[in-house]
């Protein structure tokens, strides 16, 4: 049964091609919003806290600061409304899920940028 589900997901669900990113990276996600009969593009720029899942169930969590309030959003990778993802900065972190980032404020909340090789 599991093989059948995987086959259907691979064959019939469209895959979006996005750049590789991981926890600690600062990315900008452009997605489409429908309001009535109008559509517009909105972006969400923040730090990736985690990526989870595989295949068509893959999701990633982004956190940004809006004023002094932290806002998190979970995006599925195969969301049809996703238009593009830009990687702004590659962050250097030691964990794949950086939930400790939620409790940091001020200068401690900065993530070092990874040096390009």
Per-residue pLDDT reduced to its tens digit, 53-92 = 987 789 999 999 998 899 999 999 988 899 999 999 999 9
Under a CB-based contact definition with an 8 Å cutoff, are residues 86 and 21 in contact?
A: no
| Residue 92: CATH number of its domain | 2.30.30.790
Checking if the pLDDT of 97 tops 90, the result is yes
pLDDT of residue 88: 94
Does 81 reside within a domain?
yes
Q: How far apart are CA 79 and CA 58, in angstroms?
A: 10
Does 11 reside within a domain?
yes
pLDDT of residue 117: 57
Residues 6+ apart with CB under 8 A from 81: 31, 32, 33
Does 111 reside within a domain?
no
Under a CB-based contact definition with an 8 Å cutoff, are residues 77 and 59 in contact?
A: yes
Does 106 reside within a domain?
no
Does 22 reside within a domain?
yes
Q: Which domain holds residue 60?
A: 2-101
Total domains in the fold of the chain? 1
Tell me the helix, strand and coil percentages in the chain, rounded to 5: 20, 45, 35
Per-residue pLDDT reduced to its tens digit, 7-29 = 877 777 667 788 999 999 999 99
**pLDDT band at residue 43 under the 50/70/90 scheme:** very high
């Amino acid at each position: 049964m599991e093989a059948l589900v995987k086959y259907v997901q691979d064959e019939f669900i469209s895959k979006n091609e996005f750049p590789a990113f991981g926890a600690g990276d600062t990315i900008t996600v452009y997605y489409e919003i429908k309001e009535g009969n109008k559509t517009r593009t909105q972006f969400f720029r923040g730090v990736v806290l985690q990526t989870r899942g595989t295949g068509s169930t893959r999701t990633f969590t982004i956190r940004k600061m809006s004023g002094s309030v932290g806002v998190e959003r979970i995006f599925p990778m195969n969301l049809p409304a996703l238009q593009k993802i830009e990687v702004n900065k590659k962050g250097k972190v030691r964990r794949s899920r950086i939930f400790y980032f939620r409790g940091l404020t001020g200068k401690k909340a900065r993530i070092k940028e990874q040096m390009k090789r």
